[in-house]
Structure 1
Amino acid sequence: MGEPSLFSAFFGSVERVATESDPPAGVYLTVETIDQLWRMALPVGAIRDHPLANPFGPGSPSLEPLPLPPALVVAPERDVLHGHVWRYAARLREMGKPVELAEFAGEGHGFSVGPWSEARDELMRILKRFVNQGAALG
């Protein structure tokens, strides 16, 4: 499978998106946890606009000239990172890159690895179709 599928994408930026500034109630992945994870994952002294956190940040190389394969981006509505994930898909689309955004109302970060649910079943249908379409093109 050559096509990227971003299930629980983890992006950030110095600028807070709406879902970070006003997070959904009762989410287990909080802004404080995300900030701690970035401090552990990024190089010492780096900020959330580092290219590893923000592929469209001021210091990130442009993705525009790259011939990117189609991407499936999953954006759970109740994910504190939803705004970043949605913005990632929108920016790829603006560049003319093939991207499919699958949004899941009422779901949180990592729902795809939790117990069975209708949303998880729907995600598997979307993933199967996405992979099969890519295999048919390749």
Structure 2
Amino acid sequence: MPLSLIIFCFLFLSVAYSATMDPYKFLHIVLNPDGTITRLQKHPETPATPDPNSHLPVLSRDVTINSSHNTWVRIYLPRQALSHHPPCSATKLPLIVYSHGGGFMFYAANSTYFHDFCVNLALNTQSVVVSVNYHLAPEHRLPAAYDDALDALHWIITTEDPWLTRFADYSNCYLMGDSAGGNIAYNAGLRAAAEVDQLEPLKIQGLILVQPFFGGMKRTSSELRLADDVKLALAVTDVLWELSLPVGVDRDHEYCNPMAESRCKGGDEIKQLGWKVVVFGSFGDPLVDRQMKLAQVLEEKGVEVEGYFEGDYKHADFTKEPTGALSKQLYERIKKFITILVA
């Protein structure tokens, strides 16, 4: 059998499998007549640990940022920072504003999965981490999550919270996210770029995108090759976008596909501000082609980009085991990235 025919058959069967699976059952959700969903699976949560007497390597606390919107953040502070009394500018820590993954529809800032990751992120990079608890789709469709992330930035510059005012270096700030959170970090970053003067003294130095979640109407090679992926099949991504994007738009909307029509939304603004971008991906992720393309086009526009695309890891594997070898490598590279930017 010719190789081309074998490839065609493989792609056909993959798409057929993806089309026959039930993405709602896979996601453990029921779509309600009013457009909301019933989430059938409850994810474990971890309470914050703000007590310095706990002797934990990283402390955490929850703070409301907008009571009328019911939005809040969880702040992570490496315990070592408390040893500086009082802290000076030389001992203040980088500030990472983090958005968690979950297809825009699942998890929260206190979900154990992401709490453990942020604890290790703060510890291994010696940074103050602000994890944003954003509104979830479909009850709050995009751009609600982008608005919440931007609100968090405005809150940071006005709050008197001592963990931020005493220990965070506002001139050394990064927007970070993984999966859907990577999409949020990118799009919230574009909004921040449009009002950078209003965010002073906060100075965003760069974007840290870990397997960011983007899509489009035209399938990429990696999406077709991994159409029946056990973690992120095509049918699943389609439903996530259908329930997260504004009603009536398709997957070439700019929130989903910044590369649509050969554009790269935000590339010029990122270059003008001098932000650096680092993108992490792997070849076992159906979204890897889109991630590589974003890094490539940003670089072509003159943005300083670091891209790490390697291995056959699945989507979300970078955060799956926060004390594992893959996550530790991620922390090391992030630490190097944020250190070089201010060297």
Q: Indicate the TM-score class for this superposition, using the shorter chain for normalisation.
A: 0.7 to 0.9
Q: Residues 59 and 11 from structure 1, CA distance in 2 versus in 1: closer, same or farther, beyond 3 angstroms?
A: same
**Structure-2 residue corresponding to 1:22:** 225
**Structure 1 residue 70 and structure 2 residue 273: aligned?**
no
Partner AA of 1:130 in structure 2: F
Once residues 247 and 228 of structure 2 are traced to their aligned partners in structure 1, the CA distance between those partners, rounded to angstroms, is: 31
Task: Structure 1: give runs of 5+ residues left out of the alignment.
Answer: none
TM-score, reference length from structure 1: 0.88
**Structure-2 residue corresponding to 1:40:** 243
Q: Residues 90 and 36 from structure 1, CA distance in 2 versus in 1: closer, same or farther, beyond 3 angstroms?
A: same
Please, which moves more after superposition, 63-72 or 15-24? 63-72
**Structure 1 residue 51 and structure 2 residue 258: aligned?**
no
Once residues 123 and 55 of structure 1 are traced to their aligned partners in structure 2, the CA distance between those partners, rounded to angstroms, is: 25
Once residues 15 and 70 of structure 1 are traced to their aligned partners in structure 2, the CA distance between those partners, rounded to angstroms, is: 28
Match of residue 96, structure 1, among 287, 297, 302: 302
Q: Which has the higher helix share?
A: 2
Instruction: For residue 117 of structure 1, report the CA deviation from its aligned partner.
Output: 2.9
Match of residue 123, structure 1, among 318, 322, 330: 330
Instruction: For residue 60 of structure 1, report the CA deviation from its aligned partner.
Output: 6.2
Residues 27 and 79, structure 1, Cα contact 8 Å, conserved in 2: no
Bigger radius of gyration: 2
Instruction: For residue 84 of structure 1, report the CA deviation from its aligned partner.
Output: 0.6
Partner AA of 1:75 in structure 2: G
Residues 20 and 81, structure 1, Cα contact 8 Å, conserved in 2: yes
Once residues 61 and 43 of structure 1 are traced to their aligned partners in structure 2, the CA distance between those partners, rounded to angstroms, is: 20
Instruction: For residue 26 of structure 1, report the CA deviation from its aligned partner.
Output: 4.8
Instruction: For residue 109 of structure 1, report the CA deviation from its aligned partner.
Output: 1.2
Q: Residues 88 and 61 from structure 1, CA distance in 2 versus in 1: closer, same or farther, beyond 3 angstroms?
A: closer
4+ runs deviating over 4 angstroms: 59-62
Residues 7 and 75, structure 1, Cα contact 8 Å, conserved in 2: yes
TM-score, reference length from structure 2: 0.37
Once residues 112 and 21 of structure 1 are traced to their aligned partners in structure 2, the CA distance between those partners, rounded to angstroms, is: 22
Match of residue 340, structure 2, among 128, 133, 138: 133
Matched residues, percent identical?
26
Task: Structure 2: give runs of 5+ residues left out of the alignment.
Answer: 1-172, 174-203
